[in-house]
Structure 1
Amino acid sequence: MTVDLFIPCFIDQLYPDTAFNVVKLLKKAGVDVEYNPEQTCCGQPAYNSGYWDETKSLAHKFVKDFPGDRLIVSPSASCTGFIKNYYSNLFSKEDSDYELHLSLQKRLFELTDFLVNHLQFTDFGANFPHKVCYHDACTALREYGIRSEPRLLLSKVKGLELVEMEETETCCGFGGTFVTKFQAISSAMTEQKVEHALNTGAEYIISTESSCLLNIEGYIKKNKLPITPIHIADILASGW
């Protein structure tokens, strides 16, 4: 099987090692990977800010960047959930790309969903001897619908101890543009999320969403706290 790889803006610009680890994981699972370097943002930030015309331009480009019938895999439920749930608001039946966008919505998968539910590949032989907790990102849980998949993958990692934190399904305070429009509320939510993580005694806080991790990391670094945010792909690629 060959899949197309969609790397979201946050990972491309700030966490490129995570992107390379996704390729590493897919190859170990027996999947060949194609990457189109012309790909850009899916348009979610613009859409959430009310710039629908600008988003539509990005959406038209996006569907053309992933032609054909190959499956598309991405290490972000936020971006994949946005494309699956909201691109239909941007394309009318009169649009030349209407059929393309319908095809793309059906071919696009978040990484942990793809590994667990489509490949049935859950054990990479990873080794990560640390106590960790998992953050259920809002979009991963509510927009895309993953909860058990990341936990199943983590349960196969040698040496890893997963502990559940209080209110794991509560937002970390990022929320896209929410973090800038409502900074005081966002900061309080991030503080609460990190406190819950620290109360577990975990050394790492894991998520499928780099945007959440970026937000959490900012608070942790500012306050010099003894916990490290990390993407699940980086965990699964450890130790081999």
Structure 2
Amino acid sequence: MIGLAGDQAIKALRHAQVWESVTRSFPTVAHWIDGEPISDVMPMAGILDRRRCFVIDDAPIATGVVPLGDAWACTNPSAARGFSLGIWQATLLRDAVGRHADDPVSLVVDYAGATERLLTPWFQDQNDRDRQRAAQFRALLEGRPLEPNPAHAMELALISAVRDDPEAARGWFDIFGCLALPNEVLGRPGMRDRLSAYMGRPMAPPPGPTRDELLALLGTTGRMPVAAGH
């Protein structure tokens, strides 16, 4: 369960009994809590999309230091990309060490270049997704329609088509598995034509409580106050 940092109404989810009660209201995942827990519910907070780079203007700011995995970048963990990108990045480091083990400057520059070329687009993609999702959350909390985002509309059409179109399903799972970026999938021959029938089609709401029903389960009411400038 994911919410905006300022959404005070759902803070009670950090309590195990409340979280379990709410989880049981989602039919597609309720069965996951029937087992015997091995730990308490562990909430996460302060999650930021953040990236570090140790090479500026093609020159390393330090040698002997190479960021890997979360030390290089961290994003919203709900996308479940961390392990895939971390292992991928480890292979880039392995290759850079194999080429430049005796040249620390070249090692750092080579590794940073490969990371920037192959992995940074995935970081940027997740950052864009998080911004769009946060905008959806804010629109819901403020009781207003979400402003249309043309860049996001085609990807929503792809998601809508997954159940009907095998090429759309293959493309979506390629994105989910970090095999192809969204622009690569949408650029495949005929893909945009296949998705044109799904453009603007309202998506069925996922099974589970509405916002008001969720607040009732939490024993809270009201909307999140909107800070000035946001």
TM-score (norm 2): 0.26
| Structure whose alpha-carbon radius of gyration is higher | 2
Looking at secondary structure, tell me which structure has more strand per residue: 1
TM-score (norm 1): 0.25
Larger relative CO (CA 8 A, sep 6+): 1 or 2?
Answer: 2
